[in-house]
Amino acid sequence: MNNIEAELEKEFPAWFKKHVSNLDNAPEDLKSLALGPDARVVVHPMCNVNGARFRSIEREKNMRTQNSGIMTRGSVSDEQDQEYYGVMKEVLELQYPRNKHGDRSVFLFRCDWFDLGSRKTTEMKDDGYFKSINTSVLWYKNAPFILAHQAETCFYLEDTKFGDPWKVVQTFKHRNVYDVPEKDDEGNAGAYQEDLGSEDPIVHQIEDEEDEYVDDHEDDMADRSDDVIFVDSQTVRQLAGKNGVNNDMDLSDEEQEDLEPVVDEFGRSISDVDSDID
């Protein structure tokens, strides 16, 4: 980092805060941003953003599914954008001062980035069909963070040609996934990330291993009938046990998570939400 960049990094926060405070009719979110984040950072093991789920590499260590792969695009100086590949280590939530729009947060992914070409032995191999990456060497160790909405899904497959530690990387685009931000009573997006990101990114956090997200099928069922009754997973398991159903069947990781209590993006269980509505 040269002297100009170091000086900018040191002086900009104070200048920005003073500049925004002198603005007339500055947007509320800009004021929150200028005040800076809380010194206490919230860490999450996984995150849903833009219709995709990302897990930390540590969380999925013993899982059969893979959701820690990260691909993002960026450039150095005036160079053309290029793809960077890595794995997600953790999700960081920076909490900014609350304003009339509600809680304001920015979500970051801390990642390990695989070296794609700082040396000849780690240069990515691309034959026009497959891209193979050496996953044993990292780069950009001093720049591990990206905004959550900048992350795209990728998977790492065994490379049968070059062997370990080379992995074939496969990018993935979700089909038939629509980003519809949740709105509060005033019509404002509930996640601060949505205001600063690309086109309406959706960011939700999962507080711990017991948390889960509302299944889209529940909304479909609610549209079909006003008489649908939602039962929590604990009741289902109790009824299944009474009827002699084997609860130890071999479930996938996604199915195991779906058995956990369902909560919304505010950490409330669906039963609590129903009670509030009543």
Q: What is the pLDDT of residues 214-236, one digit of tens each?
A: 334 444 434 444 444 555 556 65
Give the pLDDT confidence score for residue 147 in this predicted structure: 95
Q: Is the pTM of the predicted complex or chain greater than 0.85?
A: no
97: pLDDT strictly greater than 50: yes
Confidence of residue 120 (pLDDT cuts 50, 70, 90): confident
73: pLDDT strictly greater than 70: yes
pLDDT digits (tens, 9 = 90+) for 121-145: 889 999 999 999 999 999 999 999 9
Of residues 54, 70, 68, the one with CA closest to residue 204: 54
What angle, 0 to 180 degrees and rounded to 10, lies between the N-to-C axes of helices 3-21 and 28-35?
A: 130
